[in-house]
Amino acid sequence: MKKSKMNNNEIIILSIVIGVFIALIMGYAFSQSYDINYRGIKVYGKKGDYSEFNYLLSFGSFIIVAGISYLFLNKRKKTDKNMIDEPKEKEIDSYSID
């Protein structure tokens, strides 16, 4: 298993990059579609000719994905650190005194 030697700043930056990447994908993949009626007013609810970047979904997915990736990377770092730093326990001989 490869040892993770990332510090806290690197974990935060990597989590933000992953969150932004997934947020952009979600915002463009699930864009808001609308039509414009004869008065020039947006009409939602049906697939139309115009679409916009879905900011609400993008922002929500950024927060969720960045948080989950931070927790995952932070937990992985701590488990790797515990595996490296713990010395093996020595066996202690026990003598009974009668």
Write down the pTM of the prediction: 0.67
Q: Report domain extents, the chain.
A: 8-83
* Residue 76, pLDDT score: 81
Residue located via tokens 């992953």: 18
Sheet strand arrangement including 32-36: 42-44, 32-36, 50-52
In the chain, what's the furthest Cα-to-Cα distance?
A: 102
* Residue 16, pLDDT score: 96
* Residue 34, pLDDT score: 74
Give the mean pLDDT per block of 10 residues along the chain (98 residues): 72 94 93 75 68 90 96 82 57 60
CB 27 within 8 A of CB 58: yes
* Residue 91, pLDDT score: 55
